Amino acid sequence: MPMVIAIDGPAASGKGTLARRLAAHYGLPHLDTGLLYRAVALTLIDAGIPLDDEAAAARAATGLIADRLADPRLRERAMGEAASRVSGIPAVRAALLAWQQRFAGTPDGAVLDGRDIGTVICPDARVKLFITASAEERARRRHRELEGRGEAASLAAILADIQARDARDASRSAAPLKAAADAVVLDTTELDADEAFAAARAVVDRVRTQ
């Protein structure tokens, strides 16, 4: 049976780093589904189209190709906010649903991280993890990450952005951010990357032996 690992959680919770490490450890392909929404947002921005143009956003999502996910601009801080805005458009989510499910259908399995993997994209995933941390800790992590890349950033502004994204992602009508009923919730506020990886790996290994 394919080993699909669904990892959800809010911004800067550490789910991306954890997903990449789990994928490498188990030899599975990995998809950061947030990049899909960032790519849709960037397509609109490049074309000078407002992010709230639902028809244009749906067209961008329908025409999205994998090569678009390699654009380094997708990793910029502003793109996270833009992605959060277009991700609330039901037509965008519908267009990207099949894209993500095809990836998850890899014969041996896959690791996907996002905000609705365990609830919508892969509800039958063998492993579901919901990674979280306090907003303050997540802001500190994002601040360190940006400083490490040489980007000037205000900790207070980052915290405000994270809190706004949390509220928007949790309250949207289309696939709101929440833990699946059968997900293992892992709070990483007091954990470093290695400790979080060990805890997640223990969950996966337990399922693999069942």
Is 128 marked as a binding-site residue? no
Q: Please name the residues in contact with 158: beta carbons below 8 A apart, sequence gap of 6 or more.
A: 77, 139, 142, 143, 146
Is 10 marked as a binding-site residue? yes
Is 12 marked as a binding-site residue? yes
pLDDT < 70 positions in the chain: none
Give me the pLDDT at residue 162, please: 92
pLDDT in tens, 169-208: 888 777 788 999 999 999 999 999 999 999 999 999 999 8
User: What is the enclosing helix (H) or strand (E) of 48?
Assistant: none
CATH of domain 3-208: 3.40.50.300
Give me the pLDDT at residue 194, please: 95
Give me the pLDDT at residue 169, please: 82
Give me the pLDDT at residue 173, please: 75
Task: Tell me the pLDDT of the chain averaged across its residues.
Answer: 93
Is 13 marked as a binding-site residue? yes
Q: Is the dihedral of CA 1, 37, 35, 17 positive or negative?
A: negative
pLDDT in tens, 150-159: 888 899 999 9
Q: Please name the residues in contact with 197: beta carbons below 8 A apart, sequence gap of 6 or more.
A: 18, 21, 22
Is 98 marked as a binding-site residue? no
> For residues 80 and 12, is the Cβ–Cβ distance under 8 A?
no
Give me the pLDDT at residue 153, please: 83
Q: Tell me the domain boundaries of the chain.
A: 3-208
Is 14 marked as a binding-site residue? yes
pTM above 0.85, yes or no: yes
Which candidate, 44, 73, 74, places its Cα nearest to that of 58? 44
Q: How far apart are CA 152 and CA 158, in angstroms?
A: 11
Q: How far apart are CA 136 and CA 13, in angstroms?
A: 11
Is 88 marked as a binding-site residue? no
